[in-house]
């Protein structure tokens, strides 16, 4: 207050001339120096803050005061200096041995001073222009944002020194300062206004929007994370954050939510090329030219950075959840809002700029996985805390447009209303986070996985297109050379881009830590779903009993179908990209999951979802990357597999025949990887015994299975051999002398046709090989079902037809260059087909069926096949001898059949309208009233459960015997058999008749 004091201290102690004059005028008799009180302190501080170092003054005494003020110092900086000095004074006071009463009084004064300083610091953050500020300085909230950003230096020991300005907050002082702000402003409800702008500016810091993202050299985003961590560590600030309007901005859309919501800019940081092309280009450009070690190093570096980001993000969300019931609800609403905005992400064709980014969704998924971890224990001790009636008790997730597992929309709504309780307790946090994670997984993470797998398909398509463009190189000397060269370079450039995208996806999606978390999640979900349908609700302790009851619980039926689909899809992704991850945990869960619903297919409505179960088992049995198969040993040792796998596969083979779709004939082949699964388990005696038991105890069903397998072999063999013939034709043309003289356009068209045939042929041939091998094994193990009247004739006809194709006059048309490229092995096919003949050769019904095949059977085909088998060592001498003996038996049977069937002209009304053969047991179909032979309709119903004449549902029990027609047919047969035929006449008469005819 006195000029002399200021002068003696080199003006470092500021002389508040005007305040001194005011105080003296108010009380001229007051002692000097004036005793400091709270009122005086407030006036002192205001007077000091009102000084403007840039102001002009005519008062020469006062010019010195203004000139002595620190140049460019902001009001906030001055207040921080005061706050630090007060803290130092308090610290010094505690170290001195003053009498307790004096120390307490001094401490009380310092506390009041600190409250005063903090009050003005808060006001300055809200209204920085309240007091004079130096020009050219950024003032207000950014002044607190800066020290918050500096907190990341704590993670770097060399930078965590105390060389901080006396008027700025050091990293260790940020937390106490924030606590003082909360203590001062939170009781009066003013904290939002003080810290809201600071939080907002921190969360929307420019560093989060730079193209280099988390790979930027200054790593400012780490400062944002650290500052946010410091803020949320104080409970009142954590609660404040979730109250801010920017927490869930009103009117935000799916694509901009991550840019305008408070935590969005941090959550959107990632490495995916779509959103962060700069990162992908920096780390993975020209991937074909890069050293593998360099690519691995780049991947490891980015993964480390991502883990740091995701780990801190979880800590922030977790702290928010624990701050209060209100902030926990706000976090759940945040997750739910993201899901609601991004329902379109699950669609087939989605424009990326209409939905949230992959980076944003995957980061959120990692946060939510961590929230789930506490109830993912190996003993499933908390599994029953998940509310099975959640979709009736909560409206966080909208399922109105979602297909349900086994219920219509009307049934689901009826169930919801039935279980809806207006005064019911809200679902617990475990239920909320579990169901929200399921939805986030579907709309976010799983869609990102699909996008990654689509890139592999794009790359393959480009490779095929490139191969087609390059052709045989003859274009180099044509007029199209420049255009073709340009097209090739374009495709190669696109391939490089796709490969770069794949690497950027792999950084995150193939991260072992994320994969393990995902597998734990999938294991838990699959176990929880089985527990829902388990009548005891105890699975996995003890394991569910199969098959499940026919009455499916509604809690399961109303679940969104995507839950089952996502489990299957993630298993497919894991077994193809990270099979080693499932070796630790997941094999048994995967097997039990698939078997449960393959043994109880009535639980799931959609046949394509059921087909996914077989697809997962199939891929899990394929060796990957030089490793053994993931599931082979489990399929051959797990008790449930030994008991249920064979009947489950047989049942599904039948069921997938009818998918209900217009493309069902072709759909079934994509699901019939069953043949490969049988190959995996065939050497196991327990599985073969299970097959025999299935054939014995469920003969009718097994006959249906056999019939479908026969149909498949018929179709696949025909397609495979047809494709080989076409390939042979084009290859022959290309190898001919006139090929070079053909027009360039003609050569290009033929090359394209060849590439298309090659793609189809490989798929058909592999499936054909597996199915024929399956037929060989089954006819050896359980021949009886193949002798059923509705099977044996068709089986014989199929075998004869394909034997003709393999060794008959057309066999030369099957010779192709590089047959291994198409997995085409005609020798193995011939060997397998001959083996089927040998397996069934001792059965008279089979010999009779072969003999009755008037289309393809010829004795010389078998003789030629035997010669080839002997020359190529396809069969042993004993097997070849047995084959020739079978042919002799067939020839004898054929002669007998010809004698039996010399019936002359048969009346049309006695002929089967489908097969044009004499009916022996005519029946009437109830709805179409058509009359067919019982054996014909029985055979038809093995493949198709509808009336062939009007497509109405039909079972064998529905048909009506036509007794009157049967009697007339029997009379006709008796008459013809009693009538003289060439077979009734003596040999001499037959010879005479022949001579007369000549």
Which of the four pLDDT bands, split at 50, 70 and 90, describes residue 488? confident
Under DSSP, is residue 946 helix (H, G, I), strand (E, B) or coil?
Answer: strand
Under DSSP, is residue 376 helix (H, G, I), strand (E, B) or coil?
Answer: coil
Question: What integer pLDDT is reported at residue 318 of this predicted model?
Answer: 98
Flag whether pLDDT at 243 surpasses 70: yes
Flag whether pLDDT at 175 surpasses 80: yes
Share of the chain above pLDDT 70, in %: 88
Write out the DSSP string of 213-263: GGG-SS-HHHHHHHHHHHHHTSHHHHHHHHHSTTTS-TT--TTTHHHHSTT
* Mean of pLDDT values over 526-536: 96
Flag whether pLDDT at 8 surpasses 70: no
Q: Pseudo-torsion of CA 565, 567, 569, 571, nearest 10°?
A: -150
Question: What integer pLDDT is reported at residue 673 of this predicted model?
Answer: 77
Condensed to tens digits (0 to 9), the pLDDT of residues 773-817 reads 999 999 999 999 999 988 999 999 999 999 999 999 888 888 888
Question: What integer pLDDT is reported at residue 658 of this predicted model?
Answer: 65
- Name the DSSP class of 548: P
Instruction: Report how far residue 50's alpha carbon sits from residue 228's, in angstroms, rounded to the nearest whole number.
Output: 33
Flag whether pLDDT at 277 surpasses 70: yes
Question: What integer pLDDT is reported at residue 157 of this predicted model?
Answer: 40
Question: What integer pLDDT is reported at residue 284 of this predicted model?
Answer: 92
Condensed to tens digits (0 to 9), the pLDDT of residues 822-875 reads 889 999 999 999 999 999 998 989 999 999 998 999 999 999 999 999 999 999
Question: What integer pLDDT is reported at residue 3 of this predicted model?
Answer: 56
Which of the four pLDDT bands, split at 50, 70 and 90, describes residue 945? confident
Question: What integer pLDDT is reported at residue 461 of this predicted model?
Answer: 87
Least confident of 56-60, 333-337, 573-577, 798-802: 56-60
**Whole-model pTM?**
0.84
Condensed to tens digits (0 to 9), the pLDDT of residues 184-204 reads 999 999 999 999 999 999 999
Contact 355, 255 (CB under 8 A): yes
**1/685: higher pLDDT:** 685
Q: Cβ–Cβ contacts within 10 Å for residue 523, how many?
A: 23
* Mean of pLDDT values over 607-626: 87
Question: What integer pLDDT is reported at residue 394 of this predicted model?
Answer: 93
**759/358: higher pLDDT:** 358
Share of the chain above pLDDT 90, in %: 57
* Mean of pLDDT values over 898-903: 66
**59/924: higher pLDDT:** 924
* Mean of pLDDT values over 518-539: 96
Flag whether pLDDT at 165 surpasses 80: no
Question: What integer pLDDT is reported at residue 777 of this predicted model?
Answer: 93
Which of the four pLDDT bands, split at 50, 70 and 90, describes residue 467? confident
Question: What integer pLDDT is reported at residue 582 of this predicted model?
Answer: 86
Flag whether pLDDT at 158 surpasses 70: no
Burial grade of 30 (CB within 10 A; 0-12, 13-18, 19 or more): exposed
Buried b or exposed e, range 166-197, using 16+ CB within 10 angstroms: ebbbbbebbeebbebbbebbbeeebbbebbbb
Flag whether pLDDT at 623 surpasses 90: no
- Six-digit token string for 690: 């299970």
Residue 924, beta-bridge partner list: 931, 960
Question: What integer pLDDT is reported at residue 729 of this predicted model?
Answer: 92
Flag whether pLDDT at 161 surpasses 50: no
* Mean of pLDDT values over 22-29: 65
Condensed to tens digits (0 to 9), the pLDDT of residues 77-92 reads 999 999 999 999 988 9
Question: What integer pLDDT is reported at residue 960 of this predicted model?
Answer: 93
Which of the four pLDDT bands, split at 50, 70 and 90, describes residue 877? very high
* Mean of pLDDT values over 485-513: 91
**What domains does the chain contain, in order, with CATH numbers?**
3-68 (no CATH), 516-683 (no CATH), 710-901 (no CATH), 908-978 (3.30.40.10)
Question: What integer pLDDT is reported at residue 28 of this predicted model?
Answer: 65
Average pLDDT over the chain, rounded to an integer: 87
């Amino acid at each position: 207050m006195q000029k002399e004091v200021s002068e003696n201290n080199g003006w470092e102690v500021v002389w508040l001339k005007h305040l001194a004059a005011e105080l003296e005028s108010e009380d001229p008799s007051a002692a000097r120096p004036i005793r400091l009180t709270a009122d005086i302190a407030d006036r002192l501080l205001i007077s000091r803050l009102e000084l403007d170092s840039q102001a002009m003054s005519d008062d020469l005494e006062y010019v010195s005061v203004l000139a002595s003020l620190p140049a460019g110092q902001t009001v906030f900086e001055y207040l921080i200096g005061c706050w630090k000095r007060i803290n130092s004074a308090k610290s010094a006071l505690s170290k001195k041995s003053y009498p307790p009463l004096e120390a307490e009084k001094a401490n009380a004064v310092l506390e009041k001073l600190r409250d005063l300083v903090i009050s003005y610091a808060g006001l300055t953050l809200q209204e920085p222009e309240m007091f004079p500020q130096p020009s050219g300085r950024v003032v207000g909230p950014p002044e607190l944002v800066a020290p918050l950003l500096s907190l990341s230096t704590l993670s770097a020991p060399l930078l965590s020194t105390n060389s901080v300005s006396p008027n700025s907050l050091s990293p260790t002082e940020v937390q106490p300062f924030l606590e003082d702000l909360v203590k001062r402003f939170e009781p009066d409800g003013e904290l939002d206004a003080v810290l809201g702008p600071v939080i907002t500016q921190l969360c929307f810091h420019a560093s989060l929007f730079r193209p280099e993202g988390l790979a930027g050299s200054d790593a400012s985003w780490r400062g944002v994370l650290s500052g946010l961590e410091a803020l949320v560590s104080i409970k009142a600030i954590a609660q404040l954050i979730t109250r801010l309007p920017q927490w869930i901005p009103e009117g935000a859309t799916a694509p901009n939510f991550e840019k305008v919501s408070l935590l969005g800019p941090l959550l959107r940081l990632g490495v995916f090329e779509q959103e962060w092309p700069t990162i992908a280009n920096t780390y993975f450009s020209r991937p074909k030219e890069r050293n593998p070690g360099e690519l691995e190093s780049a991947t490891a570096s980015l993964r480390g950075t991502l883990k740091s980001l995701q780990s801190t993000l979880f800590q922030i969300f977790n702290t928010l959840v624990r701050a209060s019931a209100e902030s926990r609800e706000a976090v759940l609403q945040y997750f739910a809002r993201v899901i609601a905005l991004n329902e379109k992400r699950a669609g087939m064709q989605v424009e990326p700029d209409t939905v949230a980014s992959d980076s944003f969704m995957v980061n959120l998924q990692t946060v939510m996985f961590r929230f789930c971890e506490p109830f993912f224990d190996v003993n499933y001790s908390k599994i029953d805390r998940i509310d099975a009636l959640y979709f009736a008790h909560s409206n966080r997730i909208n399922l109105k447009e979602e297909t349900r597992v086994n219920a219509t929309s009307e049934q689901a709504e009826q169930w919801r209303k039935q279980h809806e309780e207006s005064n019911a307790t809200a679902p617990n946090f475990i239920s909320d986070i579990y169901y929200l994670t399921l939805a986030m997984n579907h709309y976010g993470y799983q869609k990102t996985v699909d996008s990654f797998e689509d890139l592999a398909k794009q790359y393959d398509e480009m490779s095929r297109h490139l191969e087609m463009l390059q052709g045989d190189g003859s274009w180099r000397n044509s007029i199209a050379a420049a255009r073709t060269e340009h097209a090739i370079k374009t495709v190669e450039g696109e391939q490089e881009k796709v490969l770069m995208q794949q690497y950027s996806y792999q950084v995150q999606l193939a991260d072992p830590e994320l994969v393990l978390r995902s597998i734990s999640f999938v294991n838990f979900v699959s176990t929880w779903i089985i527990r829902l349908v388990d009548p005891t609700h105890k699975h996995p302790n003890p394991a569910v009993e199969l098959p499940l009851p026919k009455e499916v619980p509604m809690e399961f039926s109303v679940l969104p179908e995507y839950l089952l689909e996502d489990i299957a899809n993630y298993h497919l992704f894991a077994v193809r990209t990270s099979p080693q991850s499932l070796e630790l945990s997941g094999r048994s869960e995967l097997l039990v999951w698939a078997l449960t619903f393959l043994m109880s297919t009535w639980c799931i409505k959609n046949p394509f979802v059921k087909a996914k179960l077989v697809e997962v088992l199939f891929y899990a049995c394929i060796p990957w990357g030089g490793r053994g198969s993931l599931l082979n040993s489990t399929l051959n040792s797990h008790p449930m597999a030994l008991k249920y796998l064979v009947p489950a596969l047989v049942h599904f083979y039948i069921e997938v025949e009818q998918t209900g779709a217009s493309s069902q004939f072709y759909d079934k082949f994509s699901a019939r990887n069953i043949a490969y699964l049988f190959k995996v388990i065939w050497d196991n005696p327990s599985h073969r015994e299970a097959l025999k038991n299935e054939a014995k105890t469920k003969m009718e069903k097994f006959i249906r299975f056999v019939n479908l397998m026969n149909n498949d072999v018929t179709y696949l063999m025909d397609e495979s051999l047809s494709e080989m013939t076409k390939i042979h034709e084009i290859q022959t043309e290309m190898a001919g002398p006139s090929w070079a003289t053909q027009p360039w356009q003609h050569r290009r068209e033929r090359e394209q046709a060849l590439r298309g045939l090659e793609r189809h042929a490989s798929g058909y041939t592999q499936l054909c090989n597996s199915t024929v091998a399956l037929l060989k094994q089954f006819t050896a193990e359980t021949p009886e079902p193949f002798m059923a009247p509705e099977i044996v004739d068709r089986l014989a006809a199929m075998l004869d037809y394909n034997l003709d194709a393999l060794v008959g006059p057309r066999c030369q048309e099957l010779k192709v260059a590089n047959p291994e490229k198409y997995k085409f092995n005609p020798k193995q096919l011939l060997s397998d087909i001959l083996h089927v003949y040998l397996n069934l050769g001792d059965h008279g019904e089979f010999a009779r069926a072969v003999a009755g095949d008037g289309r393809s059977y010829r004795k010389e085909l078998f003789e030629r096949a035997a010669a080839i088998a002997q020359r190529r060592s396809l069969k042993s001498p004993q097997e070849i001898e047995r084959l020739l003996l079978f042919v002799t038996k067939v020839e004898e049977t054929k002669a007998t059949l010809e004698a039996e069937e010399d019936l002359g002209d048969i009346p049309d009304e006695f002929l089967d309208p489908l097969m044009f053969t004499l009916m022996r047991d005519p029946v009437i179909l109830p709805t179409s009233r058509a009359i067919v032979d019982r054996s014909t309709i029985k055979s038809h119903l093995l493949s198709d459960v509808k009336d062939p004449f009007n497509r109405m549902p039909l079972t064998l029990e529905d048909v009506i015997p036509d007794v009157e027609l049967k009697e007339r047919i029997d009379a006709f047969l008796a008459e013809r058999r009693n009538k003289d035929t060439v077979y009734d006449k003596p040999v001499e008469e037959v010879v005479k008749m022949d001579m007369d005819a000549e």
